[in-house]
Amino acid sequence: MGRHASGKNNYALSGRAVAALVAVLVLVAGLVVYLATRGDRAAQDSASPATNCVAGDLDLPVAASDDAIGQSLVDAYSDANPVVRDFCVRPSLVDSIADAAVYIAPNTPVAHQQLAQRNRTASTAEPAPVLSVRVGVAGASVPASAADIELESVAFPVDEEPAASALVASTIAGNDQDAVNALTNQRVAAIADAGNSPLVATSEDNVPDGYSFVPVDASVLYTAIPLNQGEKVSEDQSRAGQDFARVLSERFQDGGVDQPAISDLVWAAATPTGGETITDHTETGATVADGGPVNTLFLLDTSEAMAPYLDSAAAGIASAAEAVADTGHQVALWNYSSPLNPGVTKGYRRNVAFTPDAGEVVQTVNRFLTGGKPQTREAVTAAVQQVAETGTPARVVVVTTGTADGGDDGTFAGAVSEAAGAGVTVSVVHVGEGQQDQALRGASSSAADAARPDQVAISIEAAAGISR
């Protein structure tokens, strides 16, 4: 059968096809408009991040061991227009670690002891580096090189430049004792107080006008230590502190000079009160430990050297234990000397485990006899490790006549510092006039001397945070 012409063009689109094509064109046009306006909105959001801050503003308190360094990092983070959990983060520098959500400081045992003293803990085991600053000496007339710097010609500003002072002293001195002595005897508050000293320790970015700078082979490596939430810091602020550390660490570029490893003694001596705590052996008063009473383990030296002071020490521990328990905290008691019986390998004895009943401590502490040598470092290391395992902030009060088991200072201080990261602080009371353990003093958060029996009890109470 033949085909007949209809009079219509067989290649024309049907009405349904035309409608579909129109719909596609509308969708494409809408997509183009959306992408264009989305780009505009993204640009607007980038330029004005407050449009994304549906939760409002969030204050981020930042503490720093060096105010100038801290402020520069706060400004750098603020310039990034940070937004965390829909909050616009507003960082600012605060004076107290107790109020902070992040702490800027060199990552040293001293920094973690300062945190522990205020019952603050880091939310990371490896703080991120955020700034590296070269250090050296400055003066109107300076030596040709670091090798020509004489230690006795340098003033060390421990309020203004504590980290630079520590590194410069350690690098020039060559040994810890000389560095500690210099930081104690040649300390000043600020660079402007250097007086007649021809040179002053400083960082490269804090050289006074008209002074020249000679670097030593060292840099201060500042880290941002984010802190867990606390009484004055919310969970959101703690999260913002972690973001602060992340953002600044991603921007960090190593300056090429490392922060050398130096001892805890030198770090402590460079703090505003550290040198006095470590080297002044004439202290007869008793300073109350920071933080007040907390769960407390009393660690009593019962070596032969303690014999003239044992009754006073027992009375002090009994009184302090009762006062601590009265505040609702628990107390514990260990004693130590050296192994006194065949087959015994450890010098310390766990007498009373943590208990709210101070009576157990009072009864036990009055039964001790003396003998042997003070294996202090073994006992302190075991005590802080066991207390750290409880997971509760606590203090170890060490009542000691000295140390008969020296060993490596750095290893010992490292063990105490690790416990400090878990909220354990050490307060030491040195009894008598024997040689003091400088590493123990340097690793402690407070220290007192009790050369006479009548000074022992009040010193123990103060070391336990008791104020009479």
Least confident of 114-123, 424-433, 442-451: 114-123
Pick the residue with more confidence: 76 or 447? 76
Rg (CA), the chain: 31
pLDDT at 12 over 80: no
- Mean pLDDT, range 62-91, rounded to an integer: 93
pLDDT at 136 over 80: yes
Least confident of 115-119, 143-147, 251-255, 414-418: 115-119
pLDDT at 181 over 60: yes
pLDDT at 368 over 90: yes
- Domains belonging to the chain, first-starting first, are 56-269 (3.40.190), 282-463 (3.40.50.410)
- Counted residue by residue, the chain has a size of 468
Least confident of 323-332, 413-422, 456-465: 413-422
- The type of residue at 192 is A
pLDDT at 178 over 50: yes
- Mean pLDDT, range 280-299, rounded to an integer: 71
Instruction: Kindly report the number of other CB atoms within 10 A of residue 199's CB atom.
Output: 25
Encode pLDDT of 89-134 as tens digits: 999 999 989 899 999 998 876 677 677 667 788 888 788 899 998 9
Check: CB of residue 407 under 8 Å from CB of residue 75.
no
Q: What separation in angstroms does the CA of 268 have from each of 159, 358, 440?
A: 13, 34, 11
pLDDT, position 223: 93
Encode pLDDT of 199-258 as tens digits: 999 999 899 999 999 999 989 889 999 999 988 999 999 999 999 999 999 999 765 667
This prediction's pTM: 0.51
